[in-house]
Amino acid sequence: MIRRLLPRRPAPAGAGRDRTAPGGGEAGVFAPDSLAVGARHLEVGSNWVASFAVIGYPREVHPGWLQPLLTYPGRVDVAVHIEPIDPVTAATRLKKQLARFESGRRSNDEHGRLPDPHVEAATEDAYDLSSRVARGEGRLFRLGLYLTVHAASRHELATEVGAVRSLAASLLMDAKPASYRALQGWVTCLPMGLDLLGMRRTFDTQALAASFPFTSPDLPPADPTSVAAPTGVLYGYNIGSQGLVHWDRFALDNHNSVVLGRSGAGKSYLVKLELLRSLYRGIEIHVIDPEDEYARLAQAVGGTYVHLGADGVRLNPFDLPIHTRPDGRRTAPRDALVRRSLFLHTVIGVLLGAQPTPGERATLDRAITATYQSAGITADPRTWTRPAPLLADLAHTLSTSGDTEAADLAARLHPYVNGAFSGLFDGPTTSRPEGHLVVFSLRDLPDELKPVGTLLTLDAVWRRVSNPAIRRPRLVVVDEAWLLMQDPAGADFLFRMAKASRKQWAGLTLATQDAADVLGTELGKAVVANAATQILLKQAPQAIDEIAATFNLSDGERQFLLSAERGQGLLSAGTQRVAFEAIASPAEHRLITTNPAELAEMAADEEPADTQVAEEDPFFDLGPADDTGL
């Protein structure tokens, strides 16, 4: 071991402020007391250091892939030395490298050797890199990556070195110690811009940008200078950096979100997790649930559950949007009656399966006005608080008008007035959708009533959201949105809600497993375009091409979505994208899971104890009772 002492000589008299004096000033402050040089380590004063040069790299990297090294809990210096290569030299070197690869390949073919997969992959990368450099799409750089590990003792240094090398190996990097060049390695990692090791590797522009140490795979905070806790909802942890993914939809230009993923990818699980954590923030939420998956969650948090299709549950499409102010006063928009009449035209069109002809539309408009007048509701706003008429009243008005077209419309409305589908319309509205969580279940509605049931539900939600008397953030969740997008009226209603919800301090969440139905129409693409937050979960190979084209996915993001595990996805917001995995606490998981096995196990745990004993105890198996009753 070579030891060199660097004593600090006292400054001469009268030179106490001379910072350039030997052994004094800044030089005396930063110079170590001693330096001992070993084969693979240094003793810098009381510290022990060891340096490494990275000579092996992974074939593909993602932005911020060096973040685990930068966030290592111990003291590790990471030095990146970059030297650009002029295009002429780069082209010449690539040409020589391709010639060597081709020569090796032909030699193997002539001697009957099997092709080396590593050489084949390197050849493909070299051809791709050469073409991009020739087109001016990138440049080549010489990059050296070096690590210096610090410890307080030799034993601690050995432990830290093993941990850092293991971390580098997990990143598919090969870190070799600077044997007999420990001093050069330490100087290389100092902020002096000197590369005394010269262990460099050729990088292109994209790889260099991903390796830049100040990039991070985490989402940028809204205010980088703030030390406050991040706002928004915790979605899970970042797959690239193991950091937490917080996202605040209400801090964006619009508050809409779209969640796309194949069946079983975890869409409903993620939506319910976001819903539950949004309730913690005081956000009012309305859910349109076609599969009855939110009932347990609504019951657990004290929400309102509207079970459409059940006996005695009705929604009256003639109800006017009357808003109750905090002081108890009831108000309505000036054009409430006109807008309700126009909405009834849409409802009747959905019920009949086709839009009425111009003549039928005129007849229907006169009948709607007459039906409201028969209930005492006129253009005077003071009459709007009276009980609204029913669909049966409209059918009666049409049948008694003496018009042929009106009688035909009344006959076509018969199944919804007195027939098999009258349960949803044969009375006034039974429940008001109010509360911090309102869930509309549509599973038990007949297929013939699901389009109009969904339309009436959306109308009820919009009336609540657009209430100017109550100003608070709201979310509207439409699960399995492809069912609604199949109907033109429903798709148009969703589009208008996506456009106007921002002005009402509300956000629309669309979750669907059939991306083709959503992206296959202009309205569907417009709804997706109006969502500032886009979440992509695991995708089917048949739909990945359209997904990749719509969201401009890279090859790496495309492969990630094809191989993602359940709950893993890609959160995209403008130019920011992050791969994450949703994670829930045990209590949250019990409320939001839809796994049949877990639900059966929870149901078994909730059975009364005496019932379980009676089933398991053999003394309770007495067989059929005899005539004596014993």
Does any domain span residue 10? no
In the prediction, which pLDDT does 546 show?
84
Do 471 and 575 lie in one domain? The reply is: yes
* Residue 164 pLDDT grade (very low, low, confident, very high; cuts 50, 70, 90): very high
Q: Catalogue the E-assigned strands of 321-473.
A: 323-324, 330-331, 437-441
234, part of any domain: no
Do 421 and 545 sit in the same domain of this protein?
no
First to last CA, the chain: 98
Cβ atoms of residues 510 and 479 within 8 Å: no
Six token digits for residue 341: 């009449």
Strands 323-324 and 330-331: antiparallel
- Is residue 165 within 8 A of residue 52, CB to CB? The reply is yes
pLDDT of the residue at 196: 92
Same domain, 121 and 255: no
- A 10 A CB-CB count for 559 gives 13
Tokens 């690869």 found at = 101
Amino acid 4: pLDDT: 45
Q: Which of 112-116, 293-297, 305-309 has the lowest mean pLDDT?
A: 112-116
pLDDT at residue 485 tops 80: no
Using 50, 70 and 90 to split pLDDT, how confident is the model at 162?
A: very high
User: Residue 210 has what pLDDT?
Assistant: 80
pTM of the entire structure?
0.62
Type of residue found at 504: Q
Q: Do both 424 and 441 map to the same domain?
A: no
Phi, psi of 350 (to 5 degrees): -70, -40
pLDDT at residue 518, rounded to an integer: 72
Evaluate whether residue 222 is within a structural domain.
Answer: no
Is 6 among the domain residues? Answer: no
Residue 106 forms part of a structural domain: yes
Query: Does one domain contain both 102 and 246?
Result: no
Contacts of residue 244, Cβ cutoff 8 Å, sequence gap at least 6: 230, 234, 236, 237, 238
Residues 305 and 335 in one domain: no
3-state secondary structure labels for all residues of 58-120: CCCCCCCCCHHHHCCCCCEEEEEEEEEECHHHHHHHHHHHHHHHHHHHHHHHHCCCCCCHHHH
Across the range 155-181, mean pLDDT stands at 91
- pLDDT at position 8, please? 44
Decide if 230 is inside a domain: no
Assess whether pLDDT exceeds 70 at residue 255.
yes
Average pLDDT for residues 413-436, to the nearest whole number? Answer: 83
Same domain, 588 and 455: yes
Which has more confidence, 103 or 221? Answer: 103
Residue 445 CB: number of other CB atoms within 10 A? 23
In this predicted structure, the answer to whether residue 605 has a pLDDT above a threshold of 70 is: yes
pLDDT band at 330 (very low <50, low <70, confident <90, very high): low
Give a yes or no: residue 602 inside a domain.
no
Check if the beta carbon of residue 598 is closer than 8 Å to that of residue 605. no
466 and 587, same domain (yes or no): yes
pLDDT at 357: 82
Within 8 A by CB and 6+ apart from 357, the residues are none
CATH number, domain of 358, equals: 1.10.8.730
Which of these three, 390, 407, 428, is where a domain ends? 428
Quickly state the pLDDT bin for 489 (edges 50, 70, 90): low
Highest mean pLDDT of the ranges 57-71, 384-398, 540-554 = 384-398
How much is the mean pLDDT over the chain?
Answer: 79
Which pLDDT score, from 0 to 100, does residue 331 have?
A: 60
pLDDT at 146: 94
Q: Give residue 627's region: left, alpha or beta (phi > 0; psi -120 to 50).
A: alpha
369 belongs to a structural domain: yes
Residue matched to tokens 């402050």: 29
> What does the pLDDT average to over 37-42?
90
- Token pair listed for 122: 């390197």
Q: How does DSSP classify residue 505? A: T
More confident residue, 240 or 477: 477
Predicted confidence (pLDDT) per residue in 179-200, tens digit: 999 999 999 999 888 999 989 8
Confidence band, pLDDT 50/70/90 cuts, at residue 16: very low
Q: For the chain, how many structural domains are there in total? A: 3
pLDDT tens for 74-107 read 889 999 999 888 877 877 877 787 788 778 878 8
- The answer on pLDDT for 616 being more than 50 is no
CATH number at residue 572: 3.40.50.300
Domain boundary among 370, 396, 428: 428
CA distances in angstroms from 198 to 52, 57, 165, 174, 189, listed in the order given: 12, 16, 20, 16, 12
Please give the Cα distance from 499 to 508 (Å, whole number). 10
Q: Confidence band (pLDDT; 50, 70, 90) for 117?
A: confident
pLDDT over threshold 80, residue 223: no
Q: Which of 39-43, 122-126, 540-544 has the lowest mean pLDDT?
A: 122-126
Average pLDDT (464-483) is: 79
Q: Is the pLDDT of residue 454 over 60?
A: yes
Q: Bigger pLDDT: 171 or 61?
A: 171
Residues 191 and 81 in one domain: yes
Higher model confidence: residue 615 or residue 326? 326
CB distance 484 to 478 below 8 Å: yes
Please tell me whether residues 270 and 379 are part of one structural domain.
Answer: no
Return the beta strands (E) in 553-593 as ranges: 568-573, 576-582
What is the extent of the structural domain holding 394? 316-322+329-428
**Residue 610: per-residue pLDDT:** 45
Query: Do 419 and 438 fall within a single domain?
Result: no
Do 247 and 182 reside in the same domain of the chain?
Answer: no
Chosen domain end from 428, 458, 480: 428
